[in-house]
Amino acid sequence: METKTIVYRVKNLNEIQSHLKNNSQIKPVAGATGFLYNQQEEKIKLPKYLISLDGVKELSTTTKTERYIEIGATVTLKKIVSLGKKNIPEILHKAISEMSISNIQTLATIGGNIASASPLNSCTAPLIALDAKLEIRTANELEWIPLVKYYDKTLTEYRNKPHVITKIKIETEAWTYSFYTRLGPKSIITDETAYFIFMINSQKKLITKMRLIFADNNLMRKKEFENILLGRILPLSTKDIPQIIEKAKVVFKIDEFKSEYHYNCFFNLLKKCLFELV
């Protein structure tokens, strides 16, 4: 017997919370690309209860201040790219732009990209590198949490509670140096897919902020390594780079990577970034 899917359409945030309170099995949906991913049978499988967010105006807007941009959860990836590099951080703009299937950009929303909590989604690594925060509504609460906390595997139970991501808040400060690349094919996720991000901020040639993110099946950010670079003077000395790489190998161990290929790519890319700071 076929299971029917009931879709509830809402017009405001209060209606969202009302449905969350009355139905613990309900799942939010906007672009629906997350539900369609990896479904290859003739009939698409959907949750029994869906709540359509498309009609909630507050979720489809963006606002920008001097230090932040807040993006509604149903804003599409294509619309985010259209804001341009002057309005969104360069690494996020590049990550979305390099998705080669433009139809997915048109449908996929930033909230949906985040909600599955997969390190391999295109926005994950850039948003974590940028210390993004999420506004989350549950049946009874409204709270802001760091995106990295939402992805923490120890919080799986928290993510399974009925909730809706409503906003994403991102710092827009300029970085002295930033580098982003995706490994593997651009159009699909394969065993080779991974993301590498390296970012440096400096004041008076002193490194004051540092981010190094690598995402394959796992998401890696090691404060121990960031502390190795913090406080160093730019430009770096060529003779210091082999020492920095050796310290990195103590922090980033090969068994933390999905494959030896990813491990080797990581250190080749790290070396490239360090030499660009010489």
Q: Same domain, yes or no, for 28 and 150?
A: yes
State both tokens at 202.
């400096």
Among 145, 171, 197, residue at a domain's last position:
171
Q: Which residues pair with 267 in a beta bridge?
A: none
Compute φ and ψ for 203, nearest 5 degrees. Answer: -135, 125
Give a yes or no: residue 16 inside a domain. yes
User: Residue 3 has what pLDDT?
Assistant: 72
Q: Same domain, yes or no, for 204 and 146?
A: no
Alpha carbon separation from 119 to 107, 152, 162, 243, 274 (Å, rounded)? 20, 11, 21, 29, 24
Residue 85's identity, in one-letter code, is K
Q: Same domain, yes or no, for 92 and 120?
A: yes
Give a yes or no: residue 158 inside a domain. yes
Work out the percent of the chain whose per-residue pLDDT is above 70.
93
Among 171, 192, 227, residue at a domain's last position:
171
163-182: pLDDT as tens digits:
999 999 999 999 999 999 99
Residue 233's identity, in one-letter code, is I
Task: Provide the CATH number for the domain around residue 132.
Answer: 3.30.465.10
State both tokens at 86.
């002057």
Compute φ and ψ for 212, nearest 5 degrees. Answer: -135, 115
Q: Same domain, yes or no, for 166 and 236?
A: no
27-85: pLDDT as tens digits:
888 866 665 665 566 677 778 899 999 899 999 999 999 899 999 999 999 999 999 99
Confidence of residue 99 (pLDDT cuts 50, 70, 90): confident
12-25: pLDDT as tens digits:
999 999 999 999 88
User: Residue 59 has what pLDDT?
Assistant: 95
CB 216 within 8 A of CB 258: yes
Residue 96 has pLDDT above 80, yes or no: yes
Task: Provide the CATH number for the domain around residue 219.
Answer: 3.30.390.50
List CB contacts of 103: < 8 A, sequence separation 6 or more: none
Convert 204-230 to b/e letters by CB count within 10 Å (16 or more is b). Answer: eeebebbbbbbbbeebbbeeebeebbe
Cα dihedral sign for 108, 71, 149, 23? negative
Among 121, 148, 171, residue at a domain's last position:
171
Lowest mean pLDDT among 132-136, 142-146, 159-163: 159-163
Q: Same domain, yes or no, for 164 and 203?
A: no
- Rounded to whole angstroms, the Cα distance separating 49 from 191 reads 33
User: Residue 108 has what pLDDT?
Assistant: 86
Give a yes or no: residue 236 inside a domain. yes
Q: Same domain, yes or no, for 18 and 144?
A: yes
| pTM of the predicted protein model | 0.90
Give a yes or no: residue 1 inside a domain. no
Q: Same domain, yes or no, for 155 and 229?
A: no
Give a yes or no: residue 14 inside a domain. yes
DSSP 170: E
Q: Same domain, yes or no, for 148 and 225?
A: no
Give a yes or no: residue 269 inside a domain. yes
* Cβ-based neighbour number of residue 43 at 10 Å: 7
Q: Same domain, yes or no, for 165 and 191?
A: no
Q: Same domain, yes or no, for 203 and 152?
A: no
User: Does residue 235 have a cis bond before it (omega within 30 degrees)?
Assistant: yes
Work out the percent of the chain whose per-residue pLDDT is above 90.
69
| Strand positions, DSSP E, 155-225 | 163-171, 177-183, 194-203, 206-215, 219-220
Confidence of residue 100 (pLDDT cuts 50, 70, 90): low
Give a yes or no: residue 259 inside a domain. yes
CB 35 within 8 A of CB 48: no
Strands 49-52 and 6-9, by their bridges, are: parallel
Alpha carbon separation from 22 to 11, 162, 240, 265 (Å, rounded)? 17, 10, 60, 48
Domain that holds residue 259: 184-276
Q: Which residues pair with 233 in a beta bridge?
A: 206
Query: What total number of domains does the chain contain?
Result: 2
Give a yes or no: residue 221 inside a domain. yes
Instruction: Tell me the chain's radius of gyration from C-alpha atoms.
Output: 20
Q: Same domain, yes or no, for 53 and 163?
A: yes
Measured in Å, how far apart are the chain's first and last C-alpha atoms?
66
Q: Same domain, yes or no, for 113 and 205?
A: no
